Amino acid sequence: MGKIRAGIVGVHGYVPDYVLTNRELETMVDTSDEWIRTRTGIEERRILKGSGKATSDMAMGAILPLLEKTGTDPDEIELTICGTVTPDTIFPDTANTINSKIGASNAWGFDINAACSGFLFSLSTGARFIESGRYKKILVVGADMMSSIIDYEDRTTCVIFGDGAGAVLLEPVEDGTGLIDEILKGDGKGREYLHMKAGGSLMPATAETVADKKHFVYQDGRPVFKAAIRGMVETVQQIMTRNGLSNATVDWLVPHQANQRIISAVAEGLDFPVEKVMQNIQKYGNTTAATIPLCLWEWEDKLKKEDNLLLTAFGGGFTWGTTYLKWSYDS
Ligand code: ACO
């Protein structure tokens, strides 16, 4: 028997029906389809509409088909980890709400707040529980309703973000596949460039914080842009070196979908062939913790058992890193 690793044994995604196009954004803020396409690569993004709808509803939309396609009863799930910066409520954690909505009555759960790195941080955390030998079925979710924290009068942020969710099921595998290595970082040094100012213990919500629009995403895009490229390229290179990987032996690079130009610069920095880079930012924009599982979901039918995947992300905090895994099944 080989070493116990955490294998992804299924993936599914969910995006809401409403399509917010660049043309519609032109009617809302001083922007243009041309600016958005050339600066970000985004053509449209999805928005969750309807009162009473929240991040957990999108997570449920990803998880229920995932359970069905993997033949998993909700009661078999032991743990749900949800990467999100847009929890349904400050507390309790959205993972618990998800468990209730999917009927996972034997599970516990918690959220991980690591912005756009939320899925990678959650995946590694879930992997440790599987590797311990105690847990057999863990849901790892990346879900964000970014529209709930975006100021649709701020053209510098509202064109970028969208809503969505993706989920994977982790199980123990002993065939050499699964999560093999990771380098994850969160030094807090870049937090001034990308954050939400109010609503936490530092600046609790008041009528003034609402009037001053301090409950929306604040981003100074240029420093984030540069740090994102550097952070993803460096950690991908480090992971490749210490695992003896080359551009020829990596089958897929799965980058966080923040900006088409960032993705292209990362591929260029690694001299990595663009046809092996998963990209769907044009359809969904930046869905924060959901971008990577949404890519895995859309590419699932192209993935083969033992494919080498490098997942790389960068987000608010700053948080960033790269995870190396061998895909565990043929679709
Ligand atoms: N439409 C038209 N003009 C715009 C828009 C818009 N939507 N947004 C900004 N502009 C203007 C600016 O006001 C500025 O005008 P000025 O020169 O007159 O001042 C000009 O365009 C250039 O602005 P920049 O901010 O320099 O534009 P840039 O090319 O850097 O693109 C962007 C901005 C898209 C935000 C880019 O910096 C970026 O992608 N940054 C990184 C985003 C990211 O990776 N975030 C991390 C993950 S998110 C998370 O963790 C939650």
5-176 and 180-326: same fold?
yes
Residue with tokens 């595998």: 173
Q: Which of 21, 156, 318 to mutate to test the pocket of ligand 1 (most atoms within 8 A of CB)?
A: 156
Going from the Cα of 197 to the center of ligand 1, the distance in angstroms, rounded, reads 19
User: Which pLDDT tens digits describe the chain residue by residue (331 residues)?
Assistant: 679 999 999 999 999 999 999 999 999 999 999 999 999 999 999 999 999 999 999 999 999 999 999 999 999 999 999 999 999 999 999 999 999 999 999 999 999 999 999 999 999 999 999 999 999 999 999 999 999 999 999 999 999 999 999 999 999 999 999 999 999 999 999 999 999 999 999 999 999 999 999 999 999 999 999 999 999 999 999 999 999 999 999 999 999 999 999 999 999 999 999 999 999 999 999 999 999 999 999 999 999 999 999 999 999 999 999 999 999 999 8
Ligand 1-lining residues (CB < 6 angstroms): 31, 35-36, 39-40, 115-116, 155-156, 159-160, 194, 221-222, 224-225, 228, 258-259, 262, 286, 288, 314-316
How many C-beta neighbours within 10 Å does residue 330 have?
A: 10
User: Alpha helix (H) ranges present in 41-117?
Assistant: 55-69, 94-102
Domain spanning 180-326: CATH superfamily: Thiolase/Chalcone synthase (3.40.47.10)
Domain spanning 5-176: CATH superfamily: Thiolase/Chalcone synthase (3.40.47.10)
**Which residues, 6+ apart, have CB-to-CB distance to 143 below 8 Å?**
55, 56, 58, 59, 62, 82, 83, 84, 86, 94, 164, 165, 166, 167, 289, 290
How many C-beta neighbours within 10 Å does residue 215 have?
A: 16
User: pLDDT at position 79, please?
Assistant: 99
Task: Please report the DSSP string for 266-284 in residue order.
Answer: HHHHHT--GGGB---HHHH
175-221: per-residue pLDDT in tens?
999 999 999 999 999 999 999 999 999 999 999 999 999 999 999 99
Q: Which of 42, 163, 225, 319 to mutate to test the pocket of ligand 1 (most atoms within 8 A of CB)?
A: 225
148-170: per-residue pLDDT in tens?
999 999 999 999 999 999 999 99
Closest Cα to residue 270, out of 228, 315, 230, 319?
Answer: 230
Residues serving a catalytic function are: 116, 256, 286
CA gap 257, 181 in Å, rounded: 21
CA distances from 74 to 58, 274, 312 (A): 17, 38, 30
Q: Whose CA is nearest to atom 20 of ligand 1?
A: 156
User: pLDDT at position 169, please?
Assistant: 99
Contact 101, 55 (CB under 8 A): no
Kindly state the tokens that stand for 165: 């969710």
- Cis omega (within 30 of 0) for bond into 92: yes
Question: Which ligand 1 atom is nearest residue 258's CA?
Answer: 44
Q: Where are the domains of the chain?
A: 5-176, 180-326
Q: Whose CA is nearest to atom 37 of ligand 1?
A: 221
Going from the Cα of 234 to the center of ligand 1, the distance in angstroms, rounded, reads 23
Report, in this order, helix, strand and coil percent for the chain, each rounded to 5: 40, 25, 35
